[in-house]
């Protein structure tokens, strides 16, 4: 495979990751959100494998496999089971002002390009152009967590941020050292365990997973 082709393929995959980030931002149905999240993980894993193939960095294959297992199979499966058990699969969340959220998202993408400009200039890697997309994915995940009121979609925003961070590591440096990547994956698994417990607690205590009901702890005068 020629370098030119690899770069184009990688850019295509980066574009798909960005597209799924925007789709997550405005999707309101629980299952659809889950599907989009799984697709994002799939593109991420594929992109990692492509970079690994093109650069000969074989540890990227392990990262890619880890991503595919964790983010395409394991986490969506856990969330799927939780959604079923909590009987919220029919829920449609009200999302505030879709056009405004989209515009804010576009603003964040431009901001990410601006912010990563010095890094892109210094880098000689073939993946340098996708670093901005990675930061944008992090920012869009953050935006999703801020604009959503449902506990499950907030968590998916959190996991999408994680995807963005992983993508940033592959595009800036061809992946972090293996020990760090494994450690991050372990933390993610523990986090999945914890939010699973949380969903049940929130649901039994507040009779719904709408986090707007949790507003008792405020500064009072």
Partner 1 sequence: MALVTLLWISVLVALVLAFVGDWRFAPEINIAGSALTFVASLVLALEVYQRGAFTAGGNFFFVDAFNVYLVVLTTFVSTTTAVFSRRYMRVERDHGKVGHWRMRFYHAMFQLFIFAMLIALLTNNFGVLWISMELATLATVLLVSLYRTPTAIEAAWKYFILCGVGIAQALFGTVLLYFAAERVLGVGGNALLWTNLSQVSSQLEPTVLRLAFVFLMVGYGTKAGLVPVHNWLPDAHSEGPTPISAVLSGLLLNVALYALVRCKSLVDISTGTRFAGNMMIGFGLLSLLVAAFSLLRQKDIKRLFAYSSIEHMGIATFAFGLGGSIATFGGMLHMLVHSLTKSSVFFSVGHASQMHGTQEMARIRGLLRGNPSVGWGLMLGVMSLSGMPPFGLFASEFLILTATINQMPLMAIPLLIGLAVAFAALFRRVQPMVAGATPPWQTPLKAANIPVFLHLALAVLFGLYLPPFLSRWFEMAVELLR
Give the interface with partner 1 as residue ranges (CB under 8 A).
115, 118-119, 122-123, 135, 138, 142, 145, 151, 154, 158, 161-162, 165, 168-169, 172-174, 176-180, 183-184, 186-187, 190-191, 194-195, 197-198, 201-202, 205-206, 211, 214-217, 219-221
User: C-beta of 184: minimal distance to partner 1 in Å?
Assistant: 6
Q: How far is the CB of 38 from partner 1 (least distance, A)?
A: 20
Nearest approach in angstroms of CB 68 to partner 1 is 21
Buried b (16+ CB within 10 A) or exposed e, 38-49: bbbbbbbbbbbb
Nearer to partner 1, 4 or 219 (CB): 219
- 148 dihedral zone (left: phi>0; alpha: psi -120 to 50; beta): beta
Round to whole Å and give the CA distance between 103 and 59: 38
* Phi, psi angle pair for 58, to nearest 5°: -75, -20
- Min separation Cβ 2 and partner 1, Å: 23
Tell me what percent of the chain is helix, strand and coil, each rounded to the nearest 5: 80, 0, 20
CB of 214 to partner 1, least distance (A): 4
Instruction: Indicate the SS3 state at residue 150.
Output: strand
Q: Which is nearer to partner 1, 4 or 187 (CB)?
A: 187
**Between 98 and 205, CB nearer to partner 1:** 205
User: In the numeric block, which tokens belong to residue 209?
Assistant: 């997973």
Nearer to partner 1, 4 or 112 (CB): 112
3-class DSSP assignment, residue 210: strand
């Amino acid at each position: 495979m020629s370098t030119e082709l690899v770069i184009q393929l990688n850019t295509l995959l980066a574009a798909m990751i960005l597209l799924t980030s925007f789709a997550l931002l405005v999707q309101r149905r629980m299952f659809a959100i889950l599907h989009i999240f799984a697709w994002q993980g799939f593109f991420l894993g594929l992109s990692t494998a492509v970079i690994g193939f093109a650069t000969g960095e074989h540890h990227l294959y392990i990262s890619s496999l880890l991503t595919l297992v964790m983010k395409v199979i394991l986490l969506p499966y856990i969330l799927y089971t939780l959604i079923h058990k909590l009987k919220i699969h029919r829920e449609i969340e009200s999302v505030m002002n879709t056009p405004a959220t989209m515009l804010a998202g576009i603003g964040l993408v431009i901001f990410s390009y601006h912010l990563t400009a010095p890094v892109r200039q210094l880098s000689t890697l073939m993946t340098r152009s996708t670093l901005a997309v990675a930061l944008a994915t992090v920012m869009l995940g953050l935006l999703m967590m801020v604009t959503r009121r449902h506990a499950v979609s907030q968590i998916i925003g959190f996991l999408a941020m994680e995807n963005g961070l992983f993508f940033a590591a592959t595009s800036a440096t061809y992946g972090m050292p293996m020990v760090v990547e494994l450690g991050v994956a372990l933390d993610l698994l523990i986090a999945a365990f914890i939010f699973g417990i949380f969903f049940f607690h929130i649901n039994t205590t507040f009779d719904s997973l709408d986090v707007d009901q949790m507003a008792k702890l405020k500064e009072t005068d």
